[in-house]
């Protein structure tokens, strides 16, 4: 009997797709959140707007005009065309390999498959072209501590309130209806490593935070997480911004624009990020984060028990609707 195919090698998290009934409101929010519009397309009367950050990825989020509000999956860049073929041949309800085409920034080839538990879409991309970083003015100021003064004398700090410029897509998370099945699938088919596993009072794992196994390369603490609950839903997509001042100035910008804050600003335990969660006009949660942990393949998996106190070191109390409902 032939052996199982090797794990598909993911290189980085690339982008997410969202459908919106009110595309105009969604686009306004995404601009206020700190994205830069790249391209608008209309194919078979389906309007799409692509947004990038100031990093080298050609796009991070695609907003699609539709009759429903729906998360349409995340895309990962993979290592080789061989990986793409393995995906097409082995993953559940996988498409064949198809060209993304000139209308999609960065182009490339793609395979789309369905999550085996809750049927949401996932996308794997090979051959996507990167782009030059945008020249966005960002502060690079030293910090003064009580006994360590790093800023020059007579040097002031002055900031301008504005949207917090997005650098990259850091992670996304969903609620799954069968943790054990989802965990077995993703950990056996892809180079995901569990940075943290969160268990319930009976010791049963219910949440996982995955990083990418890139050997000695430093990677973000997590790029994908899921937590068990009674029904599937997208929990949030998270985007890195520059630093704490940039993040809080963006927080004030969104607040003054009338958007609804979900949770933040605060500091997480798992992953250590400073977080700031917002609802977009259709109720999807989008996060700005800064200062997350970097790890490599030598860092072991950590296990802990779920509790509200384990979610943050400081910041507002956890909102009741932030955590997935329990069985």
* pLDDT per position as a tens digit, 295-326: 999 999 999 999 878 899 999 999 988 876 55
Reference 31, options 52, 13, 56, 45; nearest CA is 52
For residue 320, the model assigns a pLDDT of 85
Q: Is residue 51 part of a domain?
A: yes
Alpha-carbon distance of 20 to 13, in angstroms, equals 22
223: left (phi over 0), alpha (psi -120 to 50) or beta: alpha
What is the DSSP code (8-state) at residue 92? T
Is the pLDDT at 262 greater than 70? The verdict is yes
Q: Is residue 121 part of a domain?
A: yes
Q: Is residue 143 part of a domain?
A: no
For residue 141, the model assigns a pLDDT of 85
For residue 3, the model assigns a pLDDT of 60
Q: Is residue 136 part of a domain?
A: no
How confident is the model over 276-287, as pLDDT tens digits? 999 999 999 999
Strand partners, 211: 193
Q: Is residue 4 part of a domain?
A: no
If one counts the domains in the chain, the total is 1
Is the pLDDT at 4 greater than 90? The verdict is no
The token pair at 176 is 């799954």
Q: Is residue 320 part of a domain?
A: no
- Over residues 85-96, the mean pLDDT reads 97
Query: 248: Cβ–Cβ under 8 A, 6 or more apart, which residues?
Result: 265, 276
Q: How confident is the model at residue 290 (pLDDT cuts 50, 70, 90)?
A: very high
Q: Is residue 119 part of a domain?
A: yes
Q: How confident is the model at residue 327 (pLDDT cuts 50, 70, 90)?
A: very low
Reference 51, options 270, 307, 256, 286; nearest CA is 286
For residue 325, the model assigns a pLDDT of 58
Q: Is residue 286 part of a domain?
A: yes
Is the pLDDT at 1 greater than 60? The verdict is no
**Residue 215: how many other CB atoms lie within 10 Å:** 10
Is the pLDDT at 87 greater than 80? The verdict is yes
Mean pLDDT of the chain: 95
What's the whole-model pTM score?
0.96
In the chain, the percentage of residues whose pLDDT exceeds 90 is 91
How confident is the model over 124-156, as pLDDT tens digits? 999 999 999 999 999 898 999 999 999 999 989
**Torsions phi, psi of 131, nearest 5?**
-130, 165
Task: Please give the residue range of the domain that contains residue 104.
Answer: 10-131+165-314
**CATH assignment of the domain containing 118:** 3.10.180.10
Name, of 2-16, 36-50, 177-191, the range with top average pLDDT: 177-191
Q: What is the CA radius of gyration of the chain?
A: 20
């Amino acid at each position: 009997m032939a052996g199982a195919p090797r794990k598909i090698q993911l290189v980085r998290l690339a982008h997410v797709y969202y459908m919106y009934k009110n595309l105009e409101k969604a686009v306004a929010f995404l601009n206020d959140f700190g994205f830069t519009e790249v391209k608008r397309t209309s194919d078979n009367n389906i309007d799409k707007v692509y947004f990038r950050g100031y990093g080298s990825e050609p796009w991070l989020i695609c907003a699609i005009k539709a009759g429903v509000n729906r998360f349409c999956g995340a895309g990962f860049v993979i290592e080789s065309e061989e990986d793409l073929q393995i995906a097409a041949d082995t993953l559940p309800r996988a498409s064949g390999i198809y060209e993304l085409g000139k209308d999609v920034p960065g182009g490339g080839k793609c395979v789309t498959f369905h999550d085996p538990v809750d049927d949401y879409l996932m996308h794997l991309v090979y051959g996507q072209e990167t782009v030059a970083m945008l020249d966005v003015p960002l502060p690079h100021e030293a910090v003064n501590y009580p006994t360590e003064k790093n800023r020059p004398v007579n040097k002031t700090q002055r900031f301008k309130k504005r949207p917090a410029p997005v650098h990259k897509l850091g992670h996304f998370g969903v609620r799954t209806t069968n943790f054990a099945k989802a965990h077995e699938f993703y950990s056996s088919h892809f180079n995901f490593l569990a940075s943290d596993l969160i268990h319930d009072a009976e010791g049963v794992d219910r949440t996982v935070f995955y990083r990418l196994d890139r050997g000695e390369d430093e990677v973000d603490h997590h790029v994908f997480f899921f937590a068990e609950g009674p029904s599937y839903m997208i929990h949030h997509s998270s985007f890195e911004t520059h630093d704490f001042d940039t993040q809080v100035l963006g927080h004030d910008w969104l607040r003054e624009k009338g958007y609804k804050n979900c949770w933040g600003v605060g500091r997480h335990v798992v992953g250590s990020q400073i977080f700031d969660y917002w609802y977009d006009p259709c109720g999807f949660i989008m996060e700005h984060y800064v200062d997350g942990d970097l790890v490599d393949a030598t860092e072991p998996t950590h296990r802990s028990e779920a509790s509200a106190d384990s979610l943050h070191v400081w910041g507002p109390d956890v909102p009741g609707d932030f955590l997935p409902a329990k069985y």
